[in-house]
Amino acid sequence: MERQDAALPGDRRFFERNGPFSLRALAECAGARVEGGDEADDAPRYVGIAPLQSAGPQEVSFLDNRRYAPLLEQTRAGVVILAPAFVDRLPKGTVGLVCSTPYLAWARVAGLFHPVPAAIPGIHPTAIVGAGADIDPSAQIGPFVTIGAGAQVGAGSRIDAYALIGDGVRIGAHCRIGSHASVSHALLGDRVTLLSGARIGQEGFGFAVGPDGFETVPQLGRVVLEDGVEVGANSTIDRGSSQDTVIGAGSRLDNLVQIGHNARLGRCCIVVSQAGISGSTELGDFVTIAAQAGLIGHIRVGTKARIGAQCGVMSDVEAGADVIGSPAMPFREFFRNVAVLRRLAKKATQNGGGET
Amino acid sequence: MERQDAALPGDRRFFERNGPFSLRALAECAGARVEGGDEADDAPRYVGIAPLQSAGPQEVSFLDNRRYAPLLEQTRAGVVILAPAFVDRLPKGTVGLVCSTPYLAWARVAGLFHPVPAAIPGIHPTAIVGAGADIDPSAQIGPFVTIGAGAQVGAGSRIDAYALIGDGVRIGAHCRIGSHASVSHALLGDRVTLLSGARIGQEGFGFAVGPDGFETVPQLGRVVLEDGVEVGANSTIDRGSSQDTVIGAGSRLDNLVQIGHNARLGRCCIVVSQAGISGSTELGDFVTIAAQAGLIGHIRVGTKARIGAQCGVMSDVEAGADVIGSPAMPFREFFRNVAVLRRLAKKATQNGGGET
Amino acid sequence: MERQDAALPGDRRFFERNGPFSLRALAECAGARVEGGDEADDAPRYVGIAPLQSAGPQEVSFLDNRRYAPLLEQTRAGVVILAPAFVDRLPKGTVGLVCSTPYLAWARVAGLFHPVPAAIPGIHPTAIVGAGADIDPSAQIGPFVTIGAGAQVGAGSRIDAYALIGDGVRIGAHCRIGSHASVSHALLGDRVTLLSGARIGQEGFGFAVGPDGFETVPQLGRVVLEDGVEVGANSTIDRGSSQDTVIGAGSRLDNLVQIGHNARLGRCCIVVSQAGISGSTELGDFVTIAAQAGLIGHIRVGTKARIGAQCGVMSDVEAGADVIGSPAMPFREFFRNVAVLRRLAKKATQNGGGET
């Protein structure tokens, strides 16, 4: 196949490209100080972004990690976004955009060159729209989309192919609903993004034991995704049983994440891929849950707590705590246990006892 | 956004509502004894269900957990379903429906007010139906559904939007196939429910090592879902390689569950979210597998065994056993090990040896 | 329901069937030596495959596992594929096809009787094809498929119902894209298979912390799936952030697998169900990752390393290493630790200290 990194980043087959932009425009976008250049320069000199090692004089790059500082000294990039600590390693002829948060500045400059495509207003002729649905004229409804009766879609929102929006569902403004997603029994705020195959609002895992097996307990709650929530591909969020399942504003869920019925996440929580949160568990704000971690039901996790990868959380976690392991324990204790067990096991085997 | 718990449970935008019902009807549905009311009262006084703290005189609530008993004493609910132990804490003016299984009674009463919508007979004009497919006239086939040649869909079954039913697939009576689900090489009994995005019958993970890499082993079995099986959103059940993959009657699988080829589950098994069962492993009846647990292939798990969350099962499990940990061990042993290691580690660090 | 193993393997409702074939054809396909028969026999005597216990004189079976050798002595199969070690246990009247890799031979013979259905050239009238898309006339485009502008689909490739192929995506020859799959920002080689619901090329989990919460970092890379790659049902592969996410030729991913942005897998890697590989991690060739294992980001795993089930890999793994546990350690060390801890815990409890 063709060389894999050809035309990267921003392969024109896949990504829109704006520009060129001037140093002044870049500095304003980055909120950065100009080092080694004229911050008033309005000439549109810069055409795109590139990594340090491949960037040319018309391209913008960035340095965020000390490990890559040697690449900075070799770069031919026209502009590099970087932290003050690295300014003195800028090569001749490369302008620095200096700021305390270079990664954030990079995100904004990259978005300047490669904006998220805006919604193209209109409803595809193959889409099916139910009675009384209220779709803003500026929204984009893709091919084979189904919008239920009485559903609402806000201004500038984009609903991709094969998405199913159930009866009565409310979708706010500037949302992106990915292809093949299903949304039912749900209220979405503004700027909510669902990636492809996300499942929002299906019935939760609720049943009672009857004489002839399990009997379903009606799941009569909803899902509420507050403003700015993002949900990854093929993730699943069950609706509440009698209350709501709530994802707080600005929270981000990765792919293949499971959220059980009645769970409540605070603002700006992060849930990494393949993690699961069981029913009725509540998270404060800014909680981070790493990949493949699991939380049992009916517990509370305090604000800014951090749950490590593959952690098994069986009880409440205090605000600000750092836990890992299954069952969960403080990071320090977990790694101490690992070290001690290794030592004890070595000793035991030296004594020939390891295999008993 | 609007107050999140407004209109809950049973938001009229999303849920049908029957009623009002009389005390007599409720008592019959619940199979409960009436305490503090007239069990013969036929007047349709009760309009819906609500939690203890918000229920009013025309609403029905329930108490299942000792923790919430204080709420019972404060409730304004017209009727409360509860266990005999709590009868003496019923407030004045609240009728008790007393039974030994209040949660089951609650499930039935909630279903009385909010029944699962019945299938609306008919085939949507956008659906594609293959040659020789046999669809019962009482079945509902949704928009953009594809039904393969020679497939069968039984009485009262509902196939939601974008579901793909492969050639020759048999779906029994009163099944619900969720949106975006795919079903191939499969035989489904009656009352089978698949939630959105479930994948049933795709080829399993089977290959042999050849001189130029892996070669696929044809997967020539099927998937059999017996009566009453429920499969969660985005779960995956591979067809057998030469036998069948079988899920026993009444078993319930949660979201994002993986079932490998030739696996056989008995009756009324429970598999919680993100758990996985590898190929050719066999479960007895009433086995419970908690979230994120994993079973290797070619093992047997006995009837009524319980596998804990994140458990890694590498060998057979006896009937009735309770295991957890990775590798799996008895619950008691697991937590004893955790306690002992903590103590040993503390001691070791006191001796300054923890970091070696 | 009907007897579950009726008509297995190769239920005619679900599988094509070729044949009958002669002993000579079978021997050539298997690359095997004929034992107890005439290798030149051209008579088409054999109609299908079956397990040892049910195969009849016109059927072909195989033995790969010593455990099933007793079944060999009882079999009525006309032909059995087996290793030299079992030849002397062949019953009278059963011909042996003897080879050193019987499972591989079996895969090929099974494929002879039950070939993967070839693409039926043509574009279904309900499919939507974007401007400038280049679809080979021999490709099969199923119902409700969407092909983006400028996309390419190669010779003999099959795109199943509801699959979404994004703008500019390149799909090589003889690929199979399963139903409900989505592919964007991606370049696929030849003979690539995606099972139903696979998500290829969506934006990765990338954001920076801004003053008002998280801000998305544009994900400007692609996904490259090299020749012969297979991806399981509902698995997710994020596109790169600025480079590519690459799955090397011949690698096979099972169901519900997550691959983060910029990850790079070598040739012929195996990733079993529910495992996850975090962003920017690199695997050599022939790496095996067992079910539910997780790898953190930015690490390297050497060629032929084997990562055990549920393993939590937090640092580089050497070529050829065998690791398991969380954190990952050598297999031998892991099981030694388990044994030693069990012994220490027993001793501690005998001393009455276990509960402190």
Q: Is the pLDDT of residue B4 over 60?
A: no
Q: Is the pLDDT of residue C353 over 90?
A: no
Give which of A274, A334, A340 to mutate to test C binding, by max C Cβ within 10 Å: A274
Domain ranges of chain B: 3-113, 181-331
pLDDT for the residue numbered C8:
78
Q: Is the pLDDT of residue A7 over 90?
A: no
Q: Are C233 and C255 in contact (CB under 8 A)?
A: yes
Q: Is the pLDDT of residue A5 over 90?
A: no
CA dist C161 → A1, A14, B150, C140, C142 (Å): 27, 23, 17, 10, 5
Show which of residues 23-42 on chain A sit within 8 Å of chain B, judged by CB atoms.
none
Q: Does the CB of B258 have a partner CB in chain C at under 8 Å? A: yes
Report, as an integer, the average pLDDT of B4-9: 65
pLDDT for the residue numbered C342:
94
Question: Any idea which residue has 């500045």 for tokens?
Answer: A105
Residue of B nearest to C125 (CA): B128
DSSP B31: T
Neighbours of C32 (CB within 10 A): 23
Catalytic, out of A114, A180, A185, A261: A261
Using the CB atoms, write b or e for C161-193: b if 16+ within 10 Å.
bbbbbbbbbbbbbbbbbbbbbbbbbbbbbbbbb
Q: Does the CB of B336 have a partner CB in chain C at under 8 Å? A: yes
Catalytic residue ranges of B? 261
The whole-angstrom separation of Cα B121 and Cα B127 is 14
Neighbours of B353 (CB within 10 A): 14
Q: Does the CB of B266 have a partner CB in chain C at under 8 Å? A: no
Query: Does the domain at residues B181-331 carry the CATH identifier 2.60.40.10?
Result: no
Per-residue pLDDT tens digits for B67-119: 889 999 999 999 999 999 999 999 999 999 999 999 999 999 999 999 999 99
Per-residue pLDDT tens digits for B298-336: 999 999 999 999 999 999 999 999 999 999 999 999 999
- Report which secondary-structure segment, H or E, holds A193: strand A193-194
Q: Does the CB of A209 have a partner CB in chain B at under 8 Å? A: yes
Name the pLDDT band for B172 (thresholds 50, 70, 90).
very high
| Contact at CB, B232 and A236, closer than 8 angstroms | yes
Question: Any idea which residue has 């101490």 for tokens?
Answer: A336
Q: What is the DSSP string of C40-89?
A: T-----B-EE--TTT--TTEEEE---GGGHHHHHH---SEEEE-GGGGGG
- C-alpha B263: how far from chain center: 19
Per-residue pLDDT tens digits for C323-340: 999 999 999 999 999 999
pLDDT for the residue numbered A278:
98
Among residues A230, A4, A1, the alpha carbon closest in space to that of C223 is found at A4
Q: Is the pLDDT of residue C355 over 80?
A: no
Of C249, C292, C355, the CB nearest to B339: C355
Catalytic residue ranges of C? 261
pLDDT for the residue numbered C351:
77
Q: Does the CB of B335 have a partner CB in chain C at under 8 Å? A: no
The whole-angstrom separation of Cα A78 and Cα A59 is 5
Residue of B nearest to C160 (CA): B164
| Contact at CB, B256 and A260, closer than 8 angstroms | no
Identify the sign of the CA torsion B111, B115, B118, B124. negative
Report, as an integer, the average pLDDT of C183-201: 98
The whole-angstrom separation of Cα A70 and Cα A62 is 13
Q: Does the CB of C189 have a partner CB in chain A at under 8 Å? A: yes
Residues 6+ apart with CB under 8 A from A347: none
pLDDT for the residue numbered C265:
98
The class of domain B3-113 in CATH terms is alpha beta
Q: Which residues of A touch C344 (CB under 8 A)?
A: 344, 348
pLDDT for the residue numbered C6:
55
Q: What is the DSSP string of B265-312?
A: E-TT-EE-TT-EE-TT-EE-TT-EE-TT-EE-SS-EE-TT-EE-TT-E
Q: Does the CB of A156 have a partner CB in chain C at under 8 Å? A: no
Name the pLDDT band for C254 (thresholds 50, 70, 90).
very high
Report, as an integer, the average pLDDT of A129-148: 98
Distance from CA of C2 to the nearest CA of A (A): 22
| Contact at CB, B309 and A292, closer than 8 angstroms | no
| Contact at CB, A234 and C234, closer than 8 angstroms | yes
pLDDT for the residue numbered A3:
40
Peptide bond into C57 cis (omega under 30): no
Report the percent of chain A where pLDDT is more than 70.
97
Q: Is the pLDDT of residue A209 over 70?
A: yes
Q: Is the pLDDT of residue C130 over 60?
A: yes
Among residues B143, C247, B123, the alpha carbon closest in space to that of A162 is found at B143
Neighbours of chain C (3+ CB pairs under 8 A): A, B
pLDDT for the residue numbered C3:
40
What is this structure's pTM?
A: 0.96
Q: Is the pLDDT of residue A172 over 70?
A: yes
